[in-house]
Chains A and B, each alone.
Chain A
Amino acid sequence: MAQVSLRRLTKTYDGGVAAVKAIDLEIADREFVVLVGPSGCGKTTTLRMIAGLEEVTAGEIRIGGEVVNDIPPRDRDIAMVFQNYALYPHMTVFENMAFGLKLRGFPREEIARRVDRAARILGLGELLDRKPKALSGGQRQRVAMGRAIVRDPKVFLFDEPLSNLDAQLRVQMRTEIKAVHQTVKTTTVYVTHDQVEAMTLADRVVVMNQGRIEQAGPPGELYANPATRFVAGFIGSPAMNMIPARLVPTAAALAVALEGGPTLPVPAERTARYAAHVGRDLLFGIRPEHVTEATRTDKPNLAPIDVTLDVVEPMGMETLVHFRLGRTSVCARVDPQAAGAPGEAMRLAVQMDRMHLIDPATDRVL
């Protein structure tokens, strides 16, 4: 059990490529933190530096208060689950899980006890004598997790552990990982490029982009209040709509004039927050679920817009409709009963208290 702290952590590769740029991150004891971002954002490099598989160029890593920059991986008391599982093909499942304990000189009975416990948690009991070759992808993934659990380390590190599994298994293993963390409660750093994985697993999501941390916070917080344009666009599926707009004053308060569309009233409580940006070109951000059919009455601050539908995608419990505002294609989530057909006109309502305004010059959410 330990907290992990990264201070001004930097990694520059030999060719001068800066993979991680002076990031700061405090991970509390027992916390489940997910590093998420597109490929090349530095999340895996950060994880590998915590593991000790990658040298630190500058800054410092502390695990349990101790600076580990120059400590080799085996002395950091961490366990890691790799993307390709990295199981030893010549060892049985039992030997794979026991290997770390054996190297650390644990007595035989203790090894058997710990492997049994991990096998029980992960449902691997009958597979202990098999070689990895005889296991399915999901089973291999469980063995890789078992190898981490038996060690009872200070920190678990996961490097995109689900990306080699098919979609159905991925959802199932995601639930299992969460269940394991609730049982074992070890500080966990988990890397993924899948924002759904990040949202569902994390106590705290850290969104990385181009070697920097864009925003860190609980999943709901990141979803409701993204700090930057990148986070706003990265978290949530389908992605947040971003429509070029201009902030204009009205008699009572402020309004946003959407490019090629209507002018919508800004909720009164945001007037002070946006006052300084009146007259500027901004991006109006709104999530698809906050643009719904106008007949819905249970939401406050609805501003109606009339559109012509381009594409209609029924999803079962909801239907996605796409329409154009000026040059921008916009997506809305509506009730399947309310959705029209492509080419038809439809009256939608924008939930204005969920709007975001983004400054395209700084890419920050205002």
Chain B
Amino acid sequence: MAPDGVSGTIARGEADVTVPRRRTGSLARLARRRSTIAFLLALPLILIIAGLVAWPATWAIYLSTLNRRMTASVGLDNYLFLIESETFRMVVWQSCFFAITAVLLKALIGFWLAHMLHTIPARGQRKWRGMLLIPWVIPPALSTLGWWWMFDPSYSSINWILNVFGFPSIPWLGTPWWARIAVVTVNVWYGAPFFMIMYLAALKSVPEQLYEAAAIDGATGLQKLLYVTLPMMRNIIAITVLFSLIVTFANYDIVRVLTNGGPRDTTHLFATYAFQVGILSGHLPRGAAVSLFMLPILAVAAFFILRGVSRRAREMM
């Protein structure tokens, strides 16, 4: 019997088959294998991800190790410079503050809205749902322009209303804290409907009988919320928060339109600061370094949230 170096599964009685023919046979078998077919079917997606995600990411990492003119490697100097820069430390702080407060407020307001909608009978619910979704479907750059006018120091309609009730005008975009509040407000206004719609779907999926069982077990409305609704929605809440955390952390358009990072760089986020450093100031490698700083922060959050999600899904589904 000829030495069988191709496959251990070839049936006996094929010993007379010549070696080249056996090669093509094994190639055909390889092509027929399920894992091969699966790989081939996934290949277009793998190429897209490699081309649009993996390659730019690798390139960005390489870029961040170059000098300003991109002629020589400077190692980790760009990162070290950023860590020592007071402005960048403020950007990190502001990004965290912005993302955490905005996501928290969006989650709370979204949850509250979803609960309100859930109690409206199905027929009236649709028009309210539609109206409440409007902020989320307007392109944020445009809606932020609208907010910018409302915050404008000379023509602010919000200030006008405050004045009507006898309150003084507020320099919305002119002082660091008011500007931060303004940026968070617009982001919450834009993002809360997304939370609302996700939570509404989750609320609808909680079986009515669980509430009835809880009512008979002696639960008050608040206890039903704490012991039935929230635990049943935990996975949706976790995934929505993670998703929103990533998107909010990487937000660009709202800050760019509303404050452009000002006053005195106090409202800059990673993305706007990276744009300012990399494009406006022409230091591409350092801009790349700024945006790469986001990665470890988000990775840690994603790891913990997704671990909880998959554990609960295993136990409950």
Chain A residues engaging chain B, CB cutoff 8 angstroms? 51-53, 72-74, 78-80, 82, 84, 86-91, 99-100, 103-104, 131, 133, 147, 151
Contacts and interface: CB of A to CB of B under 8 A. Distances in A.
Interface in B181-230: 207, 209-210, 212-220, 223, 227-228
Interface in B241-280: none
Nearest to B217: A100
A103 B316 contact: no
Contacts of A52: 215-216
Interface residues of B, number: 22
B207 A78 contact: no
A103 B210 contact: no
A100 B231 contact: no
A100 B232 CA distance: 18
Interface in B286-317: 312, 315-317
Given A74-B217, A74-B220, 16 more contacts: A52-B215, A53-B212, A53-B215, A72-B215, A73-B216, A80-B213, A80-B216, A87-B213, A90-B312, A90-B315, A91-B231, A100-B218, A131-B315, A131-B316, A133-B316, A133-B317
22 contacts: A51-B212, A53-B215, A53-B216, A74-B215, A74-B216, A74-B220, A82-B212, A84-B209, A88-B231, A89-B232, A89-B316, A91-B231, A99-B217, A100-B216, A100-B217, A100-B218, A103-B217, A103-B223, A131-B315, A131-B316, A147-B213, A147-B217
B210 A73 contact: no
A86 B232 contact: no
Contacts of A53: 212, 215-216
Interface in B107-125: none
A80 B212 CA distance: 9
Contacts of B317: 133
B219 A90 contact: no
Contacts of B215: 52-53, 72-74
A84 B231 CA distance: 19
B234 to A, nearest CB: 8
Contacts of A51: 212, 216
- Select the residue from B207, B215, B312 with max chain A CB neighbours within 10 A: B215
Contacts of B217: 74, 99-100, 103, 147, 151
A191 to B, nearest CB: 14
Contacts of A104: 218
Interface of B: 207, 209-210, 212-220, 223, 227-228, 231-232, 234, 312, 315-317
A73 B231 CA distance: 22
B33 to A, nearest CB: 35
Given A131-B316, A133-B315, A86 B212 contact: yes
Contacts of A90: 231-232, 234, 312, 315-316
Contact of A82 (B213, B232, B312): B213
A135 B317 CA distance: 12
B209 A86 contact: yes
A71 to B, nearest CB: 12
B312 A79 contact: no
A82 B217 CA distance: 12
What 10 A-B pairs have minimum CB-CB distances, sorted nearest first? A100-B217, A86-B209, A86-B213, A74-B218, A90-B231, A103-B218, A73-B215, A89-B316, A73-B216, A80-B216
A54 to B, nearest CB: 10
Nearest to A92: B315
Contacts of A88: 210, 213-214, 227-228, 231
Contacts of B223: 103
A270 B115 CA distance: 67
B216 A79 contact: yes
B236 to A, nearest CB: 13
Contacts of B232: 89-90
A82 B209 contact: yes
- Select the residue from B217, B312, B315 with max chain A CB neighbours within 10 A: B217
A79 B316 CA distance: 24
A240 to B, nearest CB: 36
- Select the residue from B210, B215, B218, B232 with max chain A CB neighbours within 10 A: B218
Contacts of B228: 88
B308 to A, nearest CB: 12
A103 B315 CA distance: 24
A163 B245 CA distance: 45
Contacts of B227: 88, 99, 103
A131 B315 CA distance: 7
A196 B217 CA distance: 30
A20 to B, nearest CB: 18
Nearest to B232: A90
Nearest to A84: B209
B210 A86 contact: yes
Nearest to B312: A90
Given A84-B209, A86-B213, A74 B219 contact: yes
Nearest to B209: A86
Contacts of A86: 207, 209-210, 212-213
A147 B220 CA distance: 18
Contacts of B216: 51-53, 73-74, 78-80, 100
B112 to A, nearest CB: 22
Contacts of B220: 74
A137 B122 CA distance: 33
